[in-house]
């Protein structure tokens, strides 16, 4: 089973005037995320609430979960409603918040200051420590402490 | 040439396969969601030009599949064999797939990101999958110059993949931990560690087959090496727990009876639904690993797990099957796989 990066609330909105669609997993909460799976020889889409989406591994940056409700934080951020658009793809900051996705690689430069706190909160870091293009990846060596980096910073176990 | 899933890997009693995906994007071009079909095709052409250039070191590895030109069933069969993500099939215009002959390596073009490189290996060979993905990435970066920022790493459509852009995963067969409910508890404990354990199958339906996927979620602030090491270590712990739980379970004659009966059904059934097949093969695989059923190679089981999926059966038959025809062909394929293996195993299923 694989799922595309889920859309946010807009993906599972109920028809105008209708009752909100319920999560197809728990059947309790309003659905907020749509996922795709292949099962029974068919492509099927499911609507999940943010809680189930996170638990089942389909959450994204902007759904409530271990990282909190970051979308609300974004909307309230200073400058969240200005008219700045990315020169490469034309995305506004609101477009990124709404979709949970950047429009192009340049968006990260255009909206760097506003994205950085959320990226830090999400990953527990904003410092890439992995592969650098043009250099080969270091060999995997087993052993050594388990390094965990998440909300709250780095822990060794 | 054998497909990767027809081979047997390390720790195959519990580990089914390992997979490493690297998300990459081209500079100066909107991500696929912001491109029209013509824009996506241009991206596809650019990637194909780099891969199939006469000086390319990887041109002999891949063939190109145009997703637009496939029938629905053919496209779904690719997802069943884990060559594309399910979401990749929703809106196939401008999307393409580069795939190696043994299907261990592939590149999804114009999914969420421009370029999603994937390497898969049988068993617990996570480092091998990672080394192959890294090798292909390094080669293709020389001509494609993937979008990268020294601070944020590889720039991906989803901010959740910034940094390494890597999702590594191991598929685990956990019948004993699933049976005791332990798998769900382990999954909850892993979330704060930045790892995810989830059942493979239909989230809205009854689980079948006790197959779980363990994957990393953290991509920024950890190197690929650290992420793989962490994943390997956690997977190793889960494998050890599964083995301990299996040792407790196999003491009971009822479990051995269930496994024996399940094998009997697989060997003799004339109609087999896919969910039923998954439930039975799970118990039989467990019985074989525990030593109270004759061994059929894990490569044979891996092959069945891919081949008897609904869309792949239809593809192999070359026509749209009715439900009963599909069940009948699945039963035939499974019976044939188990026939002639009374000698205690298909011992020729090594990595060669």
Condensed to tens digits (0 to 9), the pLDDT of residues B38-91 reads: 999 999 999 999 999 988 999 999 999 999 999 999 999 999 999 999 999 998
Task: Determine whether the interchain pair B215/A57 forms a contact, defined as Cβ–Cβ distance below 8 Å.
Answer: yes
pLDDT score recorded for residue A6? 39
- Reduced DSSP (H G I as helix, E B as strand, rest coil) percent helix, strand, coil of chain A, to 5: 25, 15, 55
pLDDT score recorded for residue A5? 37
Distance CA B64, CA B118 (A): 15
pLDDT score recorded for residue B306? 96
pLDDT score recorded for residue A129? 95
CB B131 within 8 A of CB B168: no
Mutate to test the interface with A, among B163, B234, B275 (most CBs of A within 10 A): B163
Task: Determine whether the interchain pair A40/B158 forms a contact, defined as Cβ–Cβ distance below 8 Å.
Answer: no
Nearest to B160 among A36, A103, A122 (CB): A122
Which is more confidently placed, A140 or B264?
B264
Q: How close A83 gets to chain B, by Cα (Å)?
A: 19
| pLDDT at residue B161 tops 50 | yes
pLDDT score recorded for residue B340? 59
Which of A23-27, B19-23, B172-176 has the weakest average pLDDT? A23-27
Nearest CA in chain B to A99: B158
Model pLDDT for residues B274-306, shown as the tens digit of each residue: 999 999 999 999 999 999 898 889 999 999 999
Could you tell me which of B118, B135, B144 has the C-alpha nearest to residue B47? B144
Q: Mention every residue, 6+ apart, whose C-beta is less than 8 A from residue B352.
A: B7
Q: Which residues of B touch A108 (CB under 8 A)?
A: 149, 152, 155, 162
Nearest to B151 among A66, A126, A133 (CB): A126
Could you tell me which of B198, B203, B209 has the C-alpha nearest to residue B275? B209
B window 121-180, beta carbon within 8 A of A = 126-127, 130-131, 134, 137-138, 141, 145-160, 162-164, 166
Q: What angle do CA B81, B84, B88 make, to 5 degrees?
A: 140
Nearest to A41 among B76, B84, B145 (CB): B76
pLDDT score recorded for residue B263? 97
Mean pLDDT, residues B119-138: 97
| pLDDT at residue A9 tops 70 | no
Task: Determine whether the interchain pair B203/A48 forms a contact, defined as Cβ–Cβ distance below 8 Å.
Answer: yes
Q: How many CA atoms lie within 13 A of B144 on its CB side?
A: 28
Model pLDDT for residues B2-44, shown as the tens digit of each residue: 999 999 999 999 999 999 999 999 999 999 999 999 999 999 9
Q: Name the architecture of domain B4-246.
A: 2-Layer Sandwich (3.30)
CB B118 within 8 A of CB B107: yes
Mean pLDDT, residues B85-103: 96
Listed in order, the ranges of chain B carrying CATH 3.30.590.10 are: 4-246
Name the pTM for this structure: 0.87
Model pLDDT for residues A71-122, shown as the tens digit of each residue: 555 555 555 557 899 999 999 998 998 888 899 999 999 999 999 998 988 8
DSSP one-letter string for A120-140: HHHHS-----S--TTSPPPPP
| pLDDT at residue B250 tops 50 | yes
What per-residue string of b and e applies to B270-301 under the rule 16 or more CB within 10 Å gives b? eebbbbbbbbbbbbbbbbbbbeebebbbbbbb
Nearest CA in chain B to A53: B203
Nearest to B202 among A39, A54, A134 (CB): A39
Max Cα–Cα distance, chain B, nearest Å: 64
Crossing angle for the helix pair B274-290 and B323-338, nearest 10 degrees?
A: 20
B309–A contact, CB cutoff 8 A = yes
Chain A to chain B Cβ contacts (< 8 Å): 247
Nearest CA in chain A to B199: A56
pLDDT score recorded for residue A155? 45
Could you tell me which of B334, B203, B196, B313 has the C-alpha nearest to residue B271? B334
ipTM of the complex: 0.85
């Amino acid at each position: 089973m694989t799922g595309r990066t889920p859309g946010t609330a807009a993906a599972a909105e109920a028809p105008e005037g209708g009752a909100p669609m319920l999560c197809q997993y728990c059947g309790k909460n309003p659905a907020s995320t749509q996922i795709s799976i292949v099962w029974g020889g068919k492509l099927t889409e499911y609507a999940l609430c943010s809680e189930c989406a996170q638990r089942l591994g389909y959450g994204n940056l902007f759904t409530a979960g271990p990282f909190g409700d970051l979308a609300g934080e974004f909307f309230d951020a200073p400058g969240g409603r200005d008219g700045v658009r990315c020169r490469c793809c034309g995305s506004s900051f609101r477009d990124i918040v709404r979709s949970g996705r950047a429009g192009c690689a340049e968006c990260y430069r255009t909206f760097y200051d506003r994205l950085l706190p959320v990226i830090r909160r999400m990953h527990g870091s904003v410092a890439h420590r992995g592969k650098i293009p043009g250099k080969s990846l270091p060999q995997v060596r087993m052993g050594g402490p388990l390094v965990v980096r998440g909300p709250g910073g780095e822990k060794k176990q | 040439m054998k497909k990767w899933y027809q081979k047997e890997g390390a720790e195959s009693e519990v580990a089914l396969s390992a997979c490493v995906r690297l998300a990459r994007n081209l500079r100066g071009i909107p991500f696929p969601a912001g491109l029209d079909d013509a824009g996506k095709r241009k991206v596809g052409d650019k990637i194909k030009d780099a891969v199939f250039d006469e000086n390319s070191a990887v041109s002999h590895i891949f063939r190109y599949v145009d997703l637009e030109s496939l029938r629905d069933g053919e496209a779904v069969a690719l997802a069943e064999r884990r060559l594309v993500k399910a979401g990749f099939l929703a809106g196939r215009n401008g999307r393409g797939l580069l795939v190696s002959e043994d299907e261990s390596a592939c590149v999804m073009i114009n999914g969420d990101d421009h370029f999603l490189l994937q390497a898969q290996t049988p068993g617990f060979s996570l480092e091998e999958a990672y080394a192959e993905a890294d090798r292909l990435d390094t080669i293709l970066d020389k001509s494609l110059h993937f979008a990268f920022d020294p601070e944020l790493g590889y720039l991906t459509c989803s901010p959740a993949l910034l940094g390494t852009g890597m999702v590594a995963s191991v598929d685990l067969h956990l019948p004993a931990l699933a049976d005791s409910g332990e798998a769900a508890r382990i999954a909850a404990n892993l979330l704060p560690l930045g790892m995810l354990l989830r059942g493979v199958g239909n989230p809205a339906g009854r689980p079948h087959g006790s197959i779980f996927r363990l994957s990393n979620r953290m991509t920024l602030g950890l190197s690929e090496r650290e992420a793989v090491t962490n994943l390997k270590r956690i997977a190793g712990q889960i494998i050890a727990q599964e083995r301990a739980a299996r040792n407790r379970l196999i003491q009971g004659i009822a479990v051995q009876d269930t496994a024996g009966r399940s094998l009997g059904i697989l060997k003799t059934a004339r109609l087999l639904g896919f969910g039923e097949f998954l439930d039975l093969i799970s118990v039989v695989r467990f019985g074989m690993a525990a030593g109270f059923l004759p061994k059929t190679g894990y490569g044979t089981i891996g092959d069945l797990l891919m081949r008897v999926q609904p869309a792949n059966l239809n593809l192999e038959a070359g026509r749209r099957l009715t439900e009963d025809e599909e069940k009948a062909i699945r039963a035939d394929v499974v019976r044939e796989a188990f026939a002639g293996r009374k000698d205690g195993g298909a011992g020729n299923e090594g990595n060669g």
